[in-house]
Amino acid sequence: MTGTDTQFPLELNQPRLSVKKPEQRYDKQGEMDDTERLDRAMRGFIKDFGATAALYMESCVHCGQCAEVCQYYVQTGDPKYTPIWKLEPFKQAYKRETGPFAPLFRIFNLKRRVTVRELEEWQELIYDSCTQCGRCTMVCPMGIDIASLVGLARHGMAAAGLVPHELWATVERAKREGSPLGATPAVLKDRIAWLEDEHSVEIPLDQERADVLMTISSIEVMKYPQSIVALARIMKRMGASWTFRSDGYEATNFSMFAGDQQGQRQASLKLIEAAIAVGAKTLILPECGHAYQALRWQGANLYGEPLPFRVVQIAEYLAEGIRQGKLQLQPVQSSVTFHDPCQIVRRGGVTEAPREVLRALGVELREMDAHGAYNWCCGGGGGVVTIHRADPLRYRTYQIKMQQVEDTGAELLVSTCSNCRQTFDDGQAHFHWDKTAQSLLELVADHLVTEQE
Partner 1 sequence: MSTETDLLDFARGPALEAALIIMVFGIFWRLVGVLALRRPRDLSEPRVRHAWLGGVKTIFTRMWPRREFRPRILHWEAVSYLFHFGLAVVILGLVPHILLIRDITGLSWPGLPTGVITFAAGVSLISLLALLAHRATHPVLRQISNFDDYFSWLLVFTPLLTGLMAYYHLGGRYEDLLALHMLSAELLLAWLPFSKLAHTVLFAFSRGVTGTIYSRRGAQT
Stretch that binds partner 1, among 95-103, 203-211, 219-227, 238-246 (CB under 8 A): 95-103
Task: Out of 147, 216, 251, 358, name the contact with ligand SF4 by CB under 6 A.
Answer: 147
Asked if 64 interacts with partner 1 (CB under 8 A), we say yes
The upper half-sphere exposure of residue 16, i.e. CA atoms within 13 Å in the direction of its Cβ, equals 22
The answer to whether 81 touches 129, Cβ cutoff 8 Å, is yes
Q: Out of 42, 144, 322, 443, name the contact with ligand SF4 by CB under 6 A.
A: 144
Going by the DSSP 8-state scheme, the letter that residue 450 receives in this structure is: P
Please check whether residue 430 is in contact with residue 385, taking contact to mean a CB–CB distance below 8 angstroms.
no
The nearest distance, CB 349 to partner 1, in angstroms, is: 3
Classify the C-alpha dihedral 223-229-230-234 as positive or negative.
Answer: positive
Q: Which is nearer to ligand SF4, 86 or 223 (CB)?
A: 86
Q: Which does residue 133 touch among partner 1, ligand SF4, none (CB within 5 to 8 A, set by kind)?
A: ligand SF4
Of 51, 208, 450, 453, which one interacts with partner 1 (CB under 8 A)?
51
User: Which listed residue (135, 191, 233, 347) binds ligand SF4 by CB under 6 A?
Assistant: 135
Which stretch, 96-104, 146-154, 160-168, 385-393, contacts ligand SF4 (CB under 6 A)? 146-154
Q: Residue 22 contacts by C-beta under 8 Å, 6 or more apart in sequence?
A: 389, 392
CB of 137 to partner 1, least distance (A): 7
Cα 350 to Cα 330: distance, rounded to the nearest angstrom? 24
Alpha-carbon distance of 146 to 143, in angstroms, equals 9
Q: Restricting to residues 65-84, name those near partner 1 by CB under 8 A.
A: 65, 67-69, 73-74, 77, 79-80, 82, 84
Please report, as residue ranges, which positions from 227 to 286 form the binding site for ligand SF4 (by CB under 6 A): none
CB of 73 to ligand SF4, least distance (A): 7
CB atoms within 10 A of CB 170: 23
Residue 254 near residue 171, CB atoms below 8 Å:
yes
Total residues contacting partner 1 by CB under 8 A comes to 65
Is 56 a binding residue for partner 1 by CB under 8 A? The answer is yes
Amino acid 179 reads: S
* Chain Cα centroid distance, residue 234: 24
Out of ligand SF4, partner 1, none, what residue 130 binds, judged by CB under 5 to 8 A for its kind, is ligand SF4
Distance CA 340, CA 372 (A): 6
DSSP label of 84: G
Residues 49-78 close enough to bind ligand SF4 by CB under 6 A: 60-66, 70-72
One-letter amino acid of 317: Y
Partner interacting with residue 147 (select from ligand SF4, partner 1, none; CB below 5-8 Å by kind)? ligand SF4
For the chain, how far is it from start to end, CA to CA, in angstroms?
A: 32
**383's torsion region: left (phi>0), alpha (psi -120 to 50) or beta?**
left
Site residues (CB under 8 A) for partner 1, limited to 11-50: 49-50
- 282, 285, 287, 292: CA torsion to nearest 10: -120
List binders of ligand SF4 among 74-113 (CB under 6 A): 83-84, 86
Region for residue 111 given its phi and psi (left: phi exceeds 0; alpha: psi -120 to 50; beta: otherwise) = beta
Q: Which residues bind ligand SF4 (CB under 6 A)?
A: 60-66, 70-72, 83-84, 86, 130-136, 140-142, 144, 146-147, 150
Q: Which residues bind partner 1 (CB under 8 A)?
A: 49-52, 54-56, 58-65, 67-69, 73-74, 77, 79-80, 82, 84-85, 88, 99-101, 104, 137-145, 296-301, 303-307, 310-311, 345-351, 369-370, 372-374
